Structure 1
Amino acid sequence: MKIAVLDGAVLNPGDVDWAPLKALGALTVYDETSGEELAERARGVDVLLVNKTALRRQDLDKLDGVRLVGVLATGYNTVDIEGLAERKIPVCNVVAYGVDDVAQHALALLLELCRHTSLHTRSVKNGDWEKSGQWCYWKRTPLCLRGLTMGVIGFGSIGRRVGELAHAFGMSVLAQCRVPKNPPTYTPFAFAGLEQVLACSDVISLHCPLTPETRGLINAQTLAKMRHGAILLNTARGPLVDEAAAAEALKSGRLRGLGTDVLSREPPAPGNPLLSAPNTLITPHMAWATAKARQNIIDLMAENIRRWQQGAPINVVNGVCKA
């Protein structure tokens, strides 16, 4: 069996192990693949693995002979799963590979927005403490999380872990999801509709998938329904947020702060309004990037391929059960 990874550079810059995939067949790893290179690199390949390389409908004729497509991520919006289904090619992804990693990143953004540790570290290193003549000072008043309400939009494995971490900091938790079930045992907790989460939360953390229904979920109208001075976190998908509307809310003070690991376009265009918005933290889509999580992706994809070989595929996202 021949396996090709079309864009392995970001997933594995050399600190994790391809061995689980190598054990299944002849593995070829490309750092990146352009549209012009796709046909040649897919030729004769049985299993084609991608992370963010797009496989659009117009690309599918180039996949002659491919029997399985694997997405080395949870999100698969860059792959035309319907078009591949029409060709009877299953598409599988990996899930729950970095639950703690992404949840911790969301809380890291929140803590920085509340405690301003980087701001004050820079201030001290610039000599402000020496000049102050005081035993302490602060440039922005810190905010304590205990007693505040965390609103979690999307209550899958990552959203649930964010709720647990928020609870550990003494926050109440409200969760909005499509099908409320299996409420956690900690209190105070409640499932709620979107309107209630927006109106009653001091912090809102996004953990829902990007779908036509959730695109632009946070916009001028929904921002207006949020508590004045709320904090918004996004470690899910950039297009969930109308960035121009969020930037205006930050400038007006309606949003106290924004912490995001994702943008609508990655890397961002120079004119992205969040790049100049106040009280904004932006990290480069790295919440998932611990070595442990990236090794999990490889291990889980290897298991996907093994199960597909055995005729019992798992994590199939386009309904095709056989190659």
Structure 2
Amino acid sequence: MNEPIPVLVAGDHFMLNRLLVESLHAEGGPAAWRVRELELPWPHLPFGRVEEVEEASGSQERLIEALAGVRVCLTQMAPLTARVLAACPDLELFAVGRGGPVNANLAAATEHGVAVTFAPGRNAASTAEHTLGLMLATMRRIPQAHAGVVAGRWDSGMYAYHATGLEIAGSTVGLVGAGAIGRRVASALMALGAEVLVADPYADPASLPAGVRQVPLAELLASSAVVSLHARLTAETAGIIGSAELASMPRGSVLVNSARGGLLDHAALATALRDGHLFAAGLDVFDVEPLPADHPLRGAPNLVLTPHLAGASRAVAERAARLVAAEAGRWLRGEPLLHRANPVPAAR
């Protein structure tokens, strides 16, 4: 009988160690693994930069100690730095339960022969639903109505024509980006009766839901009552929506962003809201997080803001745990890794 594989589950207060262990035991059975646990402090303590990697949680020292003799690590936020890799020669697989392994130094991992995997699509459903929530909240002015009732007001004046909100049904909604999340949002909007436009030069038209039209960005902005951002943040897309793009949107339109804050010029958005060019905006992501006290959006009208919570559902944590455990199972069986981020093969 083979000896159990030493594995570290380095979960946190979202992707729980319990979920990781349960998913791991479904891959090869409990006897296949000798599990060690490390609990990271996120989200009770914000993630941040650790040495050369981004959006990490916990210290290199604790991780190095926990990885002693370990061959497989399942995590979401642990910092895989060059220092950690140099100190942990037994490590062979580092499976990250998020859409991109930004907390792993891929070049150093490749140099040390450590395969890094990630979990694409883990939060596609959750983020798509949150996007729709932001759209509905901004278009129907739900937060303002709620605040009034809580404050003891019964503001029937919101029924006045000039004060009423917008409907998705019959509106043209433009999606900037048509990946897994954008396509889900498109399908939901079509079901609600919207006309959906997509601007994404890399999208395969065959992958889009039936009835969705693919158009250039300029046409999408000029034609849409609602614009929702779903693009990846790259050198090409950084700042893709600035003052000129906001000005090209119809007066009284709505902007939603649950993708990446760097896609949008937030100062220009604040101006467009204050001067009434935009009806409202709903944002889950920002150029600086947490939002500083002097940020231009603070005090801007008709905003719905959430603190980067689009991927915060129990189903996301459970799905991510299954995805990383499945990679560990493939590694255990000597199979090719499905979501490999660097050119290191699975090996036993």
TM over 0.5: yes
Partner of 2:22: 19
Pairing partner for 2:336 from 306, 312, 315:
312
Kindly indicate whether the alpha-carbon contact (under 8 Å) linking 2:190 and 2:196 is maintained by their aligned counterparts in 1.
yes
Shift of 1:303: 0.7
Shift of 1:39: 2.7
How many Å separate the matches in 2 of 1:122 and 1:281?
12
Shift of 1:136: 6.1
Q: Which residues of 2 match residues 116-127 of structure 1 at below 5 A?
A: 116-127=141-152
Shift in CA distance, 117/8, structure 1 to aligned 2, threshold 3 Å:
same
How many Å separate the matches in 1 of 2:312 and 2:259?
14
Partner of 2:277: 254
How many Å separate the matches in 1 of 2:85 and 2:95?
14
Partner of 1:181: 205
Q: Which residues of 2 match residues 1-323 of structure 1 at below 5 A?
A: 1-12=5-16, 16=19, 18-22=21-25, 23=30, 25=33, 26-32=35-41, 33-56=58-81, 60-129=85-154, 140-177=163-200, 178-187=202-211, 189-309=212-332, 310-323=334-347
Cα offsets for 1:79-116 (capped at 9, x unmatched): 33233233332211112233322111100110010111
Shift in CA distance, 119/240, structure 1 to aligned 2, threshold 3 Å:
same
Kindly indicate whether the alpha-carbon contact (under 8 Å) linking 1:93 and 1:315 is maintained by their aligned counterparts in 2.
yes
How many Å separate the matches in 2 of 1:170 and 1:2?
53
Shift in CA distance, 82/258, structure 1 to aligned 2, threshold 3 Å:
farther
Shift of 1:8: 1.5
How many Å separate the matches in 2 of 1:107 and 1:135?
22
Shift in CA distance, 305/17, structure 1 to aligned 2, threshold 3 Å:
closer
Kindly indicate whether the alpha-carbon contact (under 8 Å) linking 1:152 and 1:205 is maintained by their aligned counterparts in 2.
yes
What one-letter code is carried by the residue in structure 2 that aligns with 1:193?
P
How many Å separate the matches in 2 of 1:218 and 1:249?
12
Higher mean alpha-carbon deviation, 38-47 vs 299-308, is at 38-47
Kindly indicate whether the alpha-carbon contact (under 8 Å) linking 2:11 and 2:20 is maintained by their aligned counterparts in 1.
no
What one-letter code is carried by the residue in structure 1 that aligns with 2:121?
A
Kindly indicate whether the alpha-carbon contact (under 8 Å) linking 1:93 and 1:317 is maintained by their aligned counterparts in 2.
yes
How many Å separate the matches in 2 of 1:146 and 1:68?
48
Shift in CA distance, 244/313, structure 1 to aligned 2, threshold 3 Å:
same
Shift of 1:59: 5.4
Identity of aligned residues (%): 30
Shift of 1:13: 8.7
Shift in CA distance, 140/94, structure 1 to aligned 2, threshold 3 Å:
same
Shift in CA distance, 139/112, structure 1 to aligned 2, threshold 3 Å:
farther
How many Å separate the matches in 2 of 1:237 and 1:118?
23
Shift in CA distance, 64/257, structure 1 to aligned 2, threshold 3 Å:
farther
Cα offsets for 1:51-102 (capped at 9, x unmatched): 2444455654344332112221113334332332333322111122333221
- Give the SS at the match of 2:310: coil
Shift of 1:35: 3.9
Aligned length: 319
Higher mean alpha-carbon deviation, 102-111 vs 88-97, is at 88-97
Kindly indicate whether the alpha-carbon contact (under 8 Å) linking 1:57 and 1:83 is maintained by their aligned counterparts in 2.
yes
Shift in CA distance, 197/86, structure 1 to aligned 2, threshold 3 Å:
farther
Cα offsets for 1:124-145 (capped at 9, x unmatched): 343332x87x996689311122
**TM-score, scaled relative to structure 1:** 0.86
What one-letter code is carried by the residue in structure 1 that aligns with 2:24?
L
Shift in CA distance, 96/55, structure 1 to aligned 2, threshold 3 Å:
same
- Give the SS at the match of 2:196: strand
- Give the SS at the match of 2:342: coil
Shift of 1:181: 2.9
Cα offsets for 1:7-35 (capped at 9, x unmatched): 52232397x56311254521413123124
- Give the SS at the match of 1:306: helix
Shift in CA distance, 185/106, structure 1 to aligned 2, threshold 3 Å:
closer
